Structure 1
Amino acid sequence: MDRENLSICNVNPRQVAGPDLLHHLVASSTDITAIKYVVGDKRTSYSYQYIHDASDRLARLIGALYAGLNQDTDIIVPILMPQCPHLYVSLLAILKFGGAFCPLNLDAPADRLKFILKDVSAKIVLVTQQFANKIPSDCAVQIVIVDDDNPEVEVTCHQGPIATPNSLAYVMYTSGSTGTPKGVGISHKAATQALLAHDKHIPEFTKFLQFAAPTFDVFVFETFFPLFRGAILIVAKREEMLDDLPAIMRLMDVDACELTPTVAGSLLKTRQSVPNLKLLLTIGEMLKEPVIREFGGSDDGKSILWAMYGPTEATIHW
C-alpha cells in the first residue's frame, strides 16, 4: 500500500490516553487474584499485590547487579524460563528496573543462545533452576536463578535507568530460518498504544488463558492486556495445554483466549469442547473456513471470533 492510501486509511492518527510505560498498565496492588497457575491437579493463586511485591524485590536485585555499569543505552535482560508465575514476575521486575526483556526459546541450541546473549550485550540472564544449565558456560553473563531465595537489596542503594515512553520495553528475535536471527525492539509507547487501542473494542472477560510461548510476540498481549483490565491470567504447563487444551480451559473456567487458527481448529475443534469460552481471538495466520464456521456467527449462536494482529507488527508508527 502506498503512502497516499495509508494516509487515507488513517487520516487522523491519534494517541490513545493512558499509561505510556508497559509495566504501568498492570493493575494496582490489591488482593484481587492476578494469576491462577495449574499443574496437574494442583492450583495456586497469586494476587496483584503479590506480583507487584515480588517484582519490586527482583527489580532491586537487578539494580544491584547493574550498579556501576554503563547505563547510557537500553539495557536488555534475557529471560529463559517456562510459563510459570516466576516468568510474569520477572517481566515486571525488568521493566520496573528500567530495562527491556528478551525471551529466549527453551529449545534453542547453544549457538543461538550465545548469539542472542552477545547481540544484546547481556550482563545477566534470568532463569529458573530447571533451565540454568542451558546457558552456555563460555558466555560472560551472570545467571540469576529467580526461584532461589534471592537476598533482599536496599532499593535506595542502586538507581537503574529511567525508562521513558521511547525506551525499549522488549526485544523479540526472529527464527533465523532465512539467515542470522534479528532482534526486533519495541518501545514502551508502541506497546502501550497497541494494548490501549484494543481496550476500546475487545469485549469484557474474567479469565484469560496465557497460551503463547514467551518468544511469540502475542505473548506480550496475552500477558499485559488481561493484567491491565484487572482480570485473571490463567497459566498452565505447556505440555499439559498441548495434551488436552479443552480440559485445562474447562477446569479453569476460561472465558477468553488467543490462538492461531491452526491451534483453534486442531486443539479446541468445537464450541462444545469449551462451553465457557465467550471470546476467541485468532492470530498469526489467515483464518481458516472450518474455524470461522465453528466459532463465527450462525443461526446456532453469535460469533465469539475475532481476528487480530500481533503487537510487534502492528506498532510500527510509534
Structure 2
Amino acid sequence: MSEGLSILNPWPKRLPGPSLLHQLVPWEAEDDRNAIEFLSSDGHVHSLTYQQLHRRANALARTLQSLSRTRGPSTPAHFVAPIFLPQSLDLYVAELAALKAGAAFCPISIDVPEERLRFILRDVSASVLLTTSALRPRLPDLEDIEVVLVDDENCQDVDNEPSLTIEPSRAAYVLYTSGSTGQPKGVIVSHQAVTQALLAHDRHVPPFARFLQFASPTFDVSVFEIFFPLFRRCTIVSGDRRRMLNDLPAFMIAMDIDAAELTPSVTSSLIRSRDRVPSLKTLLTIGEMLKREVIEEFGGNADRKAILNAMYGPTG
C-alpha cells in the first residue's frame, strides 16, 4: 500500500506534532483570519477570528482554572467541564477554553432530560458547568456545581492562556452514549489519541478552506469537524440547526462550504446529488456503511473526479 500504510499497522509510530488538542489550534498575534463563521436563525453571519477565539478562550480558561483550584477535584487530571450549549460561537470558545484550563470538555445536549443531565454530572464529578445566560433558566437547581456563563460580559479577553503542565495521556474530552440499552456510558478520549488521529488524517484528507460543522456536539464527529479545520488554519462554518436541516444544500451554497463530513444517510437524504452543492469539493463519510447511491454519486468515474473519502471515528 502507498506510503507503507497498513490496516494492521504492526509497527505503529507516533506522528510528529502537538500532543495536546488545543495546541493544534494556531495562535498568532493579530491573526485576523476567520476561525469560525456561524449563520444564525435570523440570517446574520457571526464570526470569530483566530485572535478573537483565543482571547475569549483564554479569559474563560482562567476562570475555569481559578474554580478548579477551589472547587475542582483533588486530582487535576480528573477535572471535567460539562458544556450545556448547542452549536454556536460560544460552544467552540467553551471547548477550547476547557482544554486550555486543563479540563476535559463534556458536551451535553440542551434537550437532555433532567435525570440524564444529573447522571452525567454525577458520573464526571462535575464541579462546574458551562452555559450561556439565555440557557441558564433551562437548568435545574444544581447543588455544589458552579454555573459559568460563557457570554459573561464582565469576562475580559486576554492574550495569555493559563500556564499549565498537561500530560498527553490526560483526557481531552468525554462523550456519553445514548443509554438506549441501559445507563449512558462515558467514553474518554485522551489528548494523545485525538491529536494522533488528527495528525494522521492530515496526511490523507485533501486541502479545503471552509469546513461544515454539522454534527451535534455530543457526537464524536464534531471533534473532528471543529479541531481539524482549526489545525489546518481554515474556517469552521456552522449555523442554526433548523436552518441546516431544512435545506442543507442551500446552507452550504450560501456559506460557500467546500468540505464536509456526513453520514451516508444524511448524504443520501439531504444532499442527494453533488450538483446540488457545486461548492463541495471534499466529502468525508463516517458512522455507517457506505451506500451504493452515495458511492455512485460522489465517487469518481470516467467523466468526473471523486470527492468521496470514507473514514472511521475515534470512539466508533
Q: Same fold (TM over 0.5)?
A: yes
Q: CA deviation at 1:155?
A: 10
Moved more, 136-145 or 226-235: 136-145
Call closer, same or farther: CA 1:153–1:284 in 2, change over 3 Å. Answer: closer
Equivalent residue of 2:78, what SS?
coil
One-letter code aligned to 2:174: V
- Which residue of structure 2 aligns with residue 184 of structure 1? 187
CA distance in 2, matches of 1:154, 1:50: 9
Q: CA deviation at 1:140?
A: 3.0
CA distance in 1, matches of 2:164, 2:119: 25
- Which residue of structure 2 aligns with residue 127 of structure 1? 131
Is the contact made by 1:66 and 1:160 (CA closer than 8 Å) also made in structure 2?
no
Is the contact made by 1:258 and 1:282 (CA closer than 8 Å) also made in structure 2?
yes
CA distance in 1, matches of 2:209, 2:49: 14
One-letter code aligned to 1:12: W
- Which residue of structure 2 aligns with residue 316 of structure 1? none
CA distance in 1, matches of 2:180, 2:121: 18
- Which residue of structure 2 aligns with residue 59 of structure 1? 61
Q: CA deviation at 1:131?
A: 2.1
- Which residue of structure 1 aligns with residue 273 of structure 2? 270
Call closer, same or farther: CA 1:304–1:45 in 2, change over 3 Å. Answer: same
Q: CA deviation at 1:82?
A: 1.0
Give the unaligned 5+ runs of structure 2: 1-5
Give the unaligned 5+ runs of structure 1: 1-6, 314-318
Is the contact made by 2:59 and 2:157 (CA closer than 8 Å) also made in structure 1?
yes
Is the contact made by 1:205 and 1:231 (CA closer than 8 Å) also made in structure 2?
yes
TM score, norm. by length of structure 1: 0.91
Is the contact made by 1:77 and 1:99 (CA closer than 8 Å) also made in structure 2?
yes
Alignment of 1:193-204 (within 5 A): 193-204=196-207
Q: Are 1:17 and 2:19 counterparts?
A: no
Q: Are 1:36 and 2:37 counterparts?
A: yes
- Which residue of structure 1 aligns with residue 82 of structure 2? 78
Alignment of 1:154-169 (within 5 A): 162-169=165-172
- Which residue of structure 2 aligns with residue 27 of structure 1? 26
Equivalent residue of 1:102, what SS?
strand
CA distance in 2, matches of 1:153, 1:92: 14
Q: CA deviation at 1:46?
A: 1.4
Alignment of 1:109-148 (within 5 A): 109-148=113-152
Q: % of aligned pairs identical?
A: 50
Call closer, same or farther: CA 1:85–1:153 in 2, change over 3 Å. Answer: closer
Is the contact made by 1:171 and 1:185 (CA closer than 8 Å) also made in structure 2?
yes
Is the contact made by 2:81 and 2:105 (CA closer than 8 Å) also made in structure 1?
yes
Map Cα deviations across residues 69-103 of structure 1 (whole Å, 9 max, x no partner).
Answer: 44414200000111111111111110001110000
One-letter code aligned to 1:22: L
Q: CA deviation at 1:138?
A: 4.4
Is the contact made by 2:85 and 2:91 (CA closer than 8 Å) also made in structure 1?
yes
CA distance in 2, matches of 1:270, 1:8: 31
Call closer, same or farther: CA 1:252–1:159 in 2, change over 3 Å. Answer: closer
Is the contact made by 2:210 and 2:259 (CA closer than 8 Å) also made in structure 1?
yes
- Which residue of structure 2 aligns with residue 100 of structure 1? 104
Is the contact made by 1:172 and 1:217 (CA closer than 8 Å) also made in structure 2?
yes
Is the contact made by 1:16 and 1:197 (CA closer than 8 Å) also made in structure 2?
yes
Count of residues in Structure 1 that have an aligned counterpart in Structure 2: 306
CA distance in 1, matches of 2:212, 2:159: 33
Q: CA deviation at 1:161?
A: 6.0
CA distance in 1, matches of 2:163, 2:315: 26
One-letter code aligned to 1:206: A
Map Cα deviations across residues 101-136 of structure 1 (whole Å, 9 max, x no partner).
Answer: 000012110000000001101011001223212322
Q: Alpha carbon RMSD of aligned pairs, Å?
A: 2.0
